Structure 1
Amino acid sequence: MKKAYVIGTLDTKQHEIAFVADILTGMGIPVCVVDVGIFPCEQVAGNWGVVALRDQDRAFFAGITDRGKALERISQLLEAFLPSCADLGGVMGMGGSGNTAVVTRGMRALPVGTPKLMVSTVASGDVAPYVGPTDICMMPSVADVQGINRITRRILGNAAHALGGMLLHSLPPAADSRELVGMTMFGVTTPCVQHLCALLEADYEPLVFHATGTGGRAFEKLVDSGMLHHVLDMTLTEICDLHMGGNMSAGEDRLGAIIRSGIPYVGSVGALDMVNFAAMPTVPEKYRDRNLYVHNANVTLMRTTPEENARMGQWIAERLNRMPGAVRFLLPEGGVSAIDAPGMPFYDPEADAALFSALETHFRQDARHQLLRIPAHINDPAFAAAAVAAFRQITN
């Protein structure tokens, strides 16, 4: 059986770490304790091995006085160490904000699907920086992780049994011979992706990502990890938020995984007509006179302008040009989202034309890299059929 890796700082959390490790070994699960403390300490005896990461760079830690630099170095060591452990079955960490930053950085380097559980004093706040595009379970510690008392005993015990349950009762591999195909979707491109799924599900297993920033990063992470060899990236709305300051940006590295991996790429301009903000009062003052649409009480959309679309078109084209694999990029002439259609609030043919023109100007076409205009709306069945035809052309 693979091991549970329990991560913490033995100089301050040795009794709490030992408590968790004892529960796991009592369940029949072998344990490896990973000490991410920056100071040497006396190790607690137990039926488990201990790896002190600072020993991997003793010269650095012998002379370090800056705690921030020490935490950064131990984070780097953990990030490199965990993926190298062939016997790793799951990971659990515990601690405050500093320990949470260190441990979750290591967890994010592990494949999606590997059990990851972080008991943290900051788990009830904004955990996006810690979780990122991965499947880390964040469990609030309620009280500080300091000593074993009637509260921490229950919290840490529940966490240990949760990790143990994931290790003891892991699901067997799915008996499905179909290859995964990753797709990106937003509410306003849902019909498009549903059509794609219907056309492909006999031969491929669709895996759909919600293009909310985290979704785009997760999509890219799975491409980088080799879990996705096929993609239909229909919804690039996160690029709007990157350029105009919305709250659903996937960062500068959007499309980077496709460039690094070289896999075939089929994409489109879905929802590039909108920047995402939260409730109306959160829209920046400089945008208050723009075409704003209240999607719901917590989401306000802003229509992109011709100038903004031209800028994004150039940005996307430059990344498409860097993709070493085959590329088919589709332009839906009838509109790029459900609310970019005749009679709908974001219908703006001039803005769409600016986007398409910039893409055509900066995209370098050849036999392997092609830009295709499709005389249909992105949510029309005809557009999905064209996307699937392009997909089959470069993947078969």
Structure 2
Amino acid sequence: MSHHCTDDQESVRDGNLSARPAAACGTVAIVATLDTKGLEASFLSDVIVACGRKTVLIDIGTSNSEVRVGTATEPGGGRSASPAELLKQIAETTRTNVADLLAAGAISAIIAVAGGKGSAVFGEIVSDLPYGFPKLLVTSARPALLAELAIHNDIILYPTLVDLFGINAFTARVLENAGRAIAAMRYVAAKQRRERKIVAITAFGVTTPAVNQCMARLAEAGVDAIVFPANGAGGRKMEQLIAAGEFDAVLDLTTTELADELLGGTASAGPDRLKAASRQSIPQVIAPGAVDMVNFGPPTSVPEQFRGRHLYSHTPYTTLMRTTPAENAAIGRLTAERLSQAQGPATVLWPAKGVSDYDREDGVFRDADADKAWLDAVKDNLMPHITTSELNCHINDPEFAEAAVTWLLKQLCHGGLSCADV
């Protein structure tokens, strides 16, 4: 099957749209290395066009790239690049041009057909696209790469299980399904001015009661709440969406990801955690939800230096380690250092009777001294313009949720912003 453009296709080389204008807002962008996946891309385009959508082909192949693959500077001033450098350059160029297509209203969905390298490039290309913008990847890449892509973006993954070498009885089934699926999706941009305020909340199983109470109280006030699991991927995505201006405030009840960041647990959200809200100058409530624990996998996965520590099997696949007073102090210092950058309203709430369901009276992780070490470090390192409140309750008690939401609503509803009667 030929992969030249039909009347319903446009062609893009390394993300550069041809002189002919792209089709209207129903257009689906197809990303592929046309030198190796041309047949698959053309087949996919035919399926999408048959469903009533237009397509634009975006070539991320390296065979015609202006930068040649090599390892050294070539005679006569020519430049060469390693394969990794070349792929990075293609990804950066294409990411910019895809963003331009979206800004111009020229595309409303994007799909890729790729192997391992192409899948990695696609992950970079769509990294700046809005949450909810349809992104579908048909791929023969290894599962580990797909898991990494899923951590960083809301890509819909469609593993082929067989390799992509042209059109056959197996690949045709996958491409037909993928084409019909993406043809049924389109992106509608969020309103510039929302009718209801939206708050981001962090949650863990051991702070779920607090989250449920906060959500109910916010709903009564006419405020929507979006919950993110504090499992590493959730915190990263929340920070990205805060930076993109998706939220009006943050109720960061569960900051356990900082414990994993400092101690090498599996739920680290990386070094950008607890930064975006400060940069966006939006109100934020910070609480030490689940900072009494660090997450590891099965018991055999716990690092050797922690084998003698206070461990608890949360599930057969999750082992929790109780943090010590010294570790909680370090987590508190990190919290204060990052929160001190806040330009907007911010406050810290501390529950004296425990920070998780496991850290309550007679709980397996109850350690009041360790919890207090977090608070002392926060107070010692926090800038004076940020308030701290000590509450004589557990984090999952109703009075804690009430205090957190009451403070937040005062910030959101200040100055005539639309909120229900609070």
TM-score with structure 2 setting the length: 0.85
* Unaligned runs of at least 5 residues, structure 2: 1-24, 70-77, 414-422
1:267 matched to 2:286? yes
Q: Which amino acid aligns with 1:34?
A: I
1:48 corresponds to: none
**How far did residue 342 of structure 1 move?**
1.3
Deviates more, 1:84-93 or 1:117-126: 117-126
Contact 2:292 / 2:365 at 8 angstroms: preserved in 1?
yes
Contact 2:250 / 2:277 at 8 angstroms: preserved in 1?
no
**How far did residue 171 of structure 1 move?**
8.4
2:119 corresponds to: 100
Q: Secondary structure at the match of 2:164?
A: coil
Q: Which amino acid aligns with 1:91?
A: I
Distance 1:393 1:60, change over 3 A: farther
Match 2:59 to one of 13, 19, 35: 35
Contact 2:198 / 2:224 at 8 angstroms: preserved in 1?
yes
Q: Which amino acid aligns with 2:290?
A: A
1:193 corresponds to: 211
2:276 corresponds to: 257
Structure 2: distance between partners of 1:78 and 1:234? 38
Percent identical residues: 36
Contact 1:376 / 1:382 at 8 angstroms: preserved in 2?
yes
Contact 1:104 / 1:118 at 8 angstroms: preserved in 2?
no
**How far did residue 336 of structure 1 move?**
0.6
Q: Which amino acid aligns with 2:398?
A: P
Q: Which amino acid aligns with 1:183?
A: I
* Unaligned runs of at least 5 residues, structure 1: 41-53
Q: Secondary structure at the match of 2:362?
A: coil
1:391 corresponds to: 408
Structure 1: distance between partners of 2:309 and 2:95? 44
Structure 2: distance between partners of 1:5 and 1:379? 46
Structure 1: distance between partners of 2:374 and 2:232? 21
C-alpha RMSD of matched pairs (Å):
1.9
Contact 1:93 / 1:118 at 8 angstroms: preserved in 2?
yes
Deviation per residue, 1:259-297 (Å, 9 max, x gap): 321211112110000000111111111111111111111
Q: Which amino acid aligns with 1:76?
A: E
Contact 1:133 / 1:221 at 8 angstroms: preserved in 2?
no
Q: Secondary structure at the match of 1:166?
A: coil
2:133 corresponds to: 114
1:184 corresponds to: 202
1:295 matched to 2:314? yes
**How far did residue 120 of structure 1 move?**
1.0
Structure 1: distance between partners of 2:174 and 2:83? 28
Q: Which amino acid aligns with 1:83?
A: A
Match 1:215 to one of 226, 230, 234: 234
Q: Secondary structure at the match of 1:148?
A: coil
Contact 2:248 / 2:412 at 8 angstroms: preserved in 1?
no
1:70 corresponds to: 86
Deviates more, 1:253-262 or 1:148-157: 253-262
1:328 corresponds to: 347
Structure 1: distance between partners of 2:164 and 2:132? 26
Deviates more, 1:59-68 or 1:26-35: 59-68
Structure 1: distance between partners of 2:406 and 2:412? 10
1:1-396 map, 5 Å? 1-40=25-64, 58=66, 63-85=79-101, 86=104, 87-122=106-141, 124-125=143-144, 127-167=146-186, 177-202=195-220, 203-366=222-385, 369-396=386-413
Structure 2: distance between partners of 1:32 and 1:21? 8
**How far did residue 173 of structure 1 move?**
7.7
**How far did residue 26 of structure 1 move?**
1.8
Deviation per residue, 1:317-344 (Å, 9 max, x gap): 0111111111011111111111111111
**How far did residue 252 of structure 1 move?**
0.7
**How far did residue 345 of structure 1 move?**
0.8
Contact 2:275 / 2:339 at 8 angstroms: preserved in 1?
no
**How far did residue 126 of structure 1 move?**
5.2
**How far did residue 65 of structure 1 move?**
4.2
Structure 1: distance between partners of 2:205 and 2:270? 20
Structure 1: distance between partners of 2:125 and 2:245? 19
Structure 1: distance between partners of 2:389 and 2:81? 58
Q: Which amino acid aligns with 1:197?
A: M
**How far did residue 180 of structure 1 move?**
1.6
Deviates more, 1:217-226 or 1:304-313: 217-226
Q: Secondary structure at the match of 1:235?
A: coil
2:5 corresponds to: none
